[in-house]
Amino acid sequence: MPGRRLQPAIGGLVVALGIATMHYVGMSAFKVPGNIRWDFAFVAASLGSGAVFSIMAMQVAVHGLHAKSWLVAVALLTAAICSLHFTAMAGVEIVENPAIAVPTSTISDGWLALAVTCATLVVLGLGLAAIVLDIRDSRRSEVEVGRLRELANASVEGLLICDGDSIVDCNTSLAELCGRSGADLAGQPLKTCFADEVVVKELLARPNEVLETNLLHADGSISPVELIAKPISFSRGLRYVVAVRDLTDRKRAEREIHFLAHHDALTGLPNRNTFHSRLNQLIAAKQSGFAVLYLDLDRFKEVNDLFGHAIGDAVLRSVADRVTAGLSNGETMARLGGDEFAILSPGTATSAQASKLAERVIGSMHSGSDDGEMRPISTSIGIALFPQDGTDSEALLSHADTALYCAKADGRNTFRLYDADMGAEAREKRLLEHDLRTAIEQRQLHLFFQPQQGVTSEDVSGFEALLRWRHPERGDVSPGVFIPIAEETGSILDIGRWVLREACREASTWENRLRIAVNVSAVQLYEPDFAREVHAILLETGLSPHLLEIEITETALVRDLNRALAALRQVKALGVCIAMDDFGTGYSSLSNLRAFPFDKIKIDGSFIRSVNSNEQAAAIVRAVLGLGRGLRLPVLAEGVETDAELEFLRNEACDEVQGYLLGRPAPIEVFRRMTHPGQESKTISLAS
Ligand code: C2E
Ligand code: MG
Ligand code: MG
């Protein structure tokens, strides 16, 4: 009955009782010619010493810590027998008494021999039976232990059997896990496997509780494990089975999840959340002064469009690597999303220091370009300083953003430090930009149309579609204001698509098959899908391609002449006409006129308005008209406001005109007479 503290003592008493019974029964069979007297003090002493030694023998046998403890137990058991026997014999006194006759034999020799033989045979028989039982028992337990071992080895978890804190056995999983064999571990203390002694103590003191610690390997390395101990009764007593679960994979997964939650997967930089919490930490620590730098890559969208997303990703990674390589200790770069990055620089307290840092960052973008043919990418940077530009994260970030906006507006590849003056203008732009994003859904955009007509004929030849934005609070916002903003933010793509679709849809309903001219921004032209989109819209609205004219300004072409040319050729291949808008204001490059497949030149209105007062303007208009004739391109004069201007253009054999004199831009209903001949125009007051 293992597990009970008093069992060895009770067992020892049973053994002592056995020895005493044997001794005193023997003595009572002793026949001498005299009286046997017992000294009861010796009797008690004999019983006492027998009991004490027996109990000690049992105690050592069951709980002996040493492998050879059983030898001590044997010696103690011998001491129990001898001490009881000899002490009892010392208390015997025989007083001679001749009156007592000792019979020569109590039983006859024959019977005695028989009895001794029988007793001997019984003892031998019992001995043999015990041996047979013992062999059978040990075979059975061998089979059982073998089965248990197989079962234990099949377990994926490591298993240790310990006696106290010393290891008795282990399974193969554990041996593999710590790189030691079971034989090496047997007899070793638990701290061979688990260096943390506090955990070892807790493990045995609180069975069934899960603990985490490190497993010591044979080579001195460690790995995280989870332990749980369970008490079991095993052969000679109470043992513990310790299950050891390897946590390496789980810990790695946890680390990865933690990393992903705080970092950007593409560049490995801290992400937006981490950036915000570091910024808040710096603010909370009342750091003497630090700088927030907002970075936005210049024309990154083009990289993606031209080279594909894989190269775009590579560029982002290389930007992250180059910039972080140039940062000093304590400076953190984070990726906020897309092509936006931010740098926190504790210790950068003055404008001069911040400017140096920004220059370093811009410089590091160009250093050692290893991207082959790819153009080096540049970045614009906006800087806000704590505490002068803001004492909370919201103010700092919004001011850094404002400064970034100004850096972009000032030609990119540069940095700007926030100052309060830039705030108002940039904020205004930001607000417009924000409202513009929802303008389509909110139905705030609509089209006005302005007629175009031949100089000599009275009939209208087509209309130009001009975009209008009625802002719910600001009223009408001029396209001269919002189109550049939409181009900067990219919302021109959606807006331009909407304009093209609306204009084509409108024109397709006209009874009179008139041309519709639509202004197209450079940003749209450089979209890889532009021609396909135009085609889709023509199919969708059913407008014949030759009735559509696309107006492009020269500035749209110069950014990348080859791409612009490719895009215009594709559009032209659809049968769509292309007009060069605002000619005279931009580069007015003759080589562009020749190289691009234009169908028409539109002279900018600013020249027309001065033809009668300014000789130079008149000369320019004449020259452009001559150019058109030479290149066989019709010329349209914009902004014709007076009869005198019209007269001049007629004399100079201009082809077409457009301007307030012939009609101000207005809703199409105003021109119903022209689009649907024979029907009356509605009277609508002109808004523009
Ligand atoms: P634009 O394409 O050169 O358009 C002609 C501009 O001159 C229009 O200004 C028109 O209202 C104005 N205009 C027409 N006749 C006269 C006149 O006799 N006198 C004066 N003073 N002005 C006249 P608006 O509508 O303000 O548009 C300005 C510019 O905004 C346009 O110049 C065009 O570049 C751009 N824009 C307009 N709508 C769109 C559009 O849908 N998409 C794109 N990308 N740009 C557009
Ligand atoms: Mg135009
Ligand atoms: Mg124009």
Average pLDDT across the chain, whole number: 89
The CA distances from residue 536 to 440, 548, 549, in Å, are 20, 13, 16
Half-sphere exposure (CA, 13 Å, Cβ side) for 465? 28
- Find the helix or strand (DSSP H, E) in which 344 lies: strand 340-346
Task: Tell me which residue has its CA closest to atom 15 in ligand 1.
Answer: 659
292: nearest Cα among 193, 184, 364, 383: 383
Residue in 436, 447, 478, 638 to alter for ligand 1 test, most ligand atoms within 8 A of Cβ: 638
Taking the centre of ligand 2 as the mean of its atom positions, its distance from the CA of residue 673, in whole angstroms, is: 23
Taking the centre of ligand 2 as the mean of its atom positions, its distance from the CA of residue 426, in whole angstroms, is: 27
The CA distances from residue 105 to 33, 102, 111, 330, 630, in Å, are 14, 8, 11, 110, 163
344 touches 278 (CB < 8 A) = yes
Read off the DSSP letter of residue 189: B
What's the mean pLDDT in 99-110? 79
Task: Tell me which residue has its CA closest to atom 19 in ligand 1.
Answer: 639
Q: Each residue of 21-51: pLDDT tens digit?
A: 999 998 888 888 888 899 999 999 999 999 9
Q: What is the pTM of this model?
A: 0.56
Residue ranges lining ligand 1, Cβ < 6 Å: 450, 466-467, 478-480, 483, 496, 499, 519-521, 551, 581-582, 605, 638-641, 659-660, 665
DSSP string, 259-291: HHHHB-TTT--B-HHHHHHHHHHHHHTT-S-EE
Read off the DSSP letter of residue 371: S
How much of the chain, in percent, has pLDDT values that exceed 70? Answer: 95
Q: Each residue of 637-652: pLDDT tens digit?
A: 999 999 999 999 999 9
How much of the chain, in percent, has pLDDT values that exceed 90? Answer: 60
pLDDT of residue 684: 47
pLDDT surpassing 70 at residue 370: no
Per-residue 3-state assignment (H helix, E strand, C coil) for 249-267: HHHHHHHHHHHHHHECCCC
pLDDT of residue 594: 86
Please, what is the Cα angle at 80 between 78 and 84, to 5 degrees? Answer: 120
Q: Each residue of 426-472: pLDDT tens digit?
A: 778 878 888 998 898 899 999 999 999 999 888 899 999 999 999 99
Report which residue type is found at 674: M
Residue in 452, 466, 516, 518 to alter for ligand 1 test, most ligand atoms within 8 A of Cβ: 466
Q: Each residue of 204-258: pLDDT tens digit?
A: 888 889 999 999 999 989 999 999 999 887 655 678 899 999 999 999 999 989 9
Q: Where are the beta strands (DSSP E) in 76-187?
A: 92-96, 158-163, 166-170
pLDDT surpassing 80 at residue 414: yes
What's the mean pLDDT in 339-366? 92
pLDDT of residue 359: 93
CA separation for the pair 338, 105 (Å, rounded): 118
pLDDT surpassing 90 at residue 81: yes
CA separation for the pair 100, 331 (Å, rounded): 115
The pair of three-digit structure tokens given for residue 64, joined into one six-digit string: 């002996």
Q: Please list, in sequence order, all residues whose beta carbon lies within 8 angstroms of the beta carbon of residue 1, skipping any fewer than 6 positions away.
A: 7
Taking the centre of ligand 1 as the mean of its atom positions, its distance from the CA of residue 519, in whole angstroms, is: 9
pLDDT surpassing 70 at residue 373: no
| Three-class SS state of 628 | helix
Half-sphere exposure (CA, 13 Å, Cβ side) for 548? 30
The CA distances from residue 435 to 325, 408, 438, 688, in Å, are 39, 20, 6, 22
pLDDT of residue 369: 52
Task: Tell me which residue has its CA closest to atom 25 in ligand 1.
Answer: 466
Higher pLDDT, 683 or 5: 5
| Three-class SS state of 456 | coil
What's the mean pLDDT in 263-278? 94
Task: Tell me which residue has its CA closest to atom 16 in ligand 1.
Answer: 639
Residue 464's φ and ψ, nearest 5 degrees, are -100, 130
pLDDT surpassing 80 at residue 109: yes
Q: What is the torsional sign of CA 474, 478, 479, 482?
A: negative
285 touches 330 (CB < 8 A) = no
pLDDT surpassing 60 at residue 688: no
- 575 sits in the region (left: phi over 0; alpha: psi -120 to 50; else beta) called left
pLDDT surpassing 70 at residue 20: yes
168 touches 183 (CB < 8 A) = no
How far is Cα of residue 376 from the mean position of the Cα atoms in its chain? 29
**Window from 113-127, 203-217, 263-277, 583-597 with minimum mean pLDDT:** 583-597
Res. 685 pLDDT band, cuts 50 70 90: very low
Q: Where are the beta strands (DSSP E) in 287-329?
A: 290-297
**Window from 77-86, 203-212, 661-670 with minimum mean pLDDT:** 203-212
Task: Tell me which residue has its CA closest to atom 27 in ligand 1.
Answer: 479
Res. 336 pLDDT band, cuts 50 70 90: very high
pLDDT of residue 376: 73
- Domains, the chain, in order of start with CATH, read 7-106 (no CATH), 155-251 (3.30.450.20), 263-418 (3.30.70.270), 435-675 (3.20.20.450)
Taking the centre of ligand 1 as the mean of its atom positions, its distance from the CA of residue 466, in whole angstroms, is: 6
pLDDT of residue 105: 67
Taking the centre of ligand 3 as the mean of its atom positions, its distance from the CA of residue 458, in whole angstroms, is: 22
pLDDT of residue 406: 87
344 touches 282 (CB < 8 A) = yes
In the chain, the N- to C-terminal Cα span, in Å, equals 107
Please, what is the Cα angle at 11 between 9 and 12, to 5 degrees? Answer: 65
